[in-house]
Amino acid sequence: MNGLIPDLEKLIGKMEFARMLSGPHDTRNALLSINAGAGGTEAQDWADMVLRMYLRYCERKGFKTEFTDYQPADEAGIKSATFTVTGDYAYGYLKAEIGIHRLVRISPYDASARRHTSFCSVFVFPELDDSIEIDIEEKDLKVDTFRASGAGGQHINKTDSAIRITHIPTGIIVACQNERSQHKNRATALKQLKARLYEQEMRKKEEEAATFSEDKKEISCGSQIRSYVLHPYRMVKDHRTGQETGNTDAVLDGELDPFVEAYLLSGK
């Protein structure tokens, strides 16, 4: 009988995994975008810390990452960054991270050593293939070119090969500076736009469906999902699931599985 326990545990683990990652796009690659909130250098430094956290998480999971856009800040940190994540169930795992991430710490940029609260937003989109049709009309696009710069483009040539596309009806902005040619950057940026438009449409449908539910959940990328407190005590807490740990260094070094799995198992 005891010999069956490991087999049963493996079976239960597979069933939980299948339930956690059973969404229509969970098996796909992902696009992950980080944007610094208001607060200048402090928020931009926090966005850079979050970027490093996700790059380390992806490394731990065996995912491949590649920058498509990187906007360094003037003094420290980043204004924004977008990168692709390639690997099995990349979107399925990373969708748990969509939302606002809050940091509380003694600011290294404050001469008076005061405590600061900083925010940054994280958006994750599934990478779509050509079998999913999203209608994008040329007249709805504003296309700008600029020179690639920063970690995502420092090796690129010095011509204006980078592309920024604004989708006028929705205000969605995407950019790519990773490729050497303007044509390839445009194709990658359009792929990002397609993914974001699809995700926006899916969220609209979810919101419409939720209005018919008595216990509907708030569906918002703008809700604070997790706090990272480094002063006066050390704790990372997920406000959706209650998952928490005092090992803040490990979390900021990419040890996110307990938080991701708790969220996915909660079915929220």
**pLDDT tens column, 212-261:** 433 333 333 446 899 999 999 999 999 999 999 999 999 999 999 999 99
CATH code of 113's domain: 3.30.70.1660
Q: pLDDT tier at 153 (50, 70, 90 boundaries)?
A: very low
Q: Is residue 15 part of a domain?
A: no
Q: Is residue 74 part of a domain?
A: yes
Q: Is residue 215 part of a domain?
A: no
Q: Is residue 9 part of a domain?
A: no
Q: Is residue 204 part of a domain?
A: yes
Per-residue pLDDT tens digits for 88-125:
999 999 999 999 999 999 988 888 888 999 999 999 99
**Number of domains the chain is built from:** 1
Q: Is residue 73 part of a domain?
A: yes
pLDDT at 29: 95
In terms of pLDDT, which residue wins out, 134 or 37? 37
Contacts of 1 (CB under 8 A, 6+ apart): none
Q: Is residue 3 part of a domain?
A: no
Per the structure, the complete domain to which residue 133 belongs is given by: 20-209+220-266
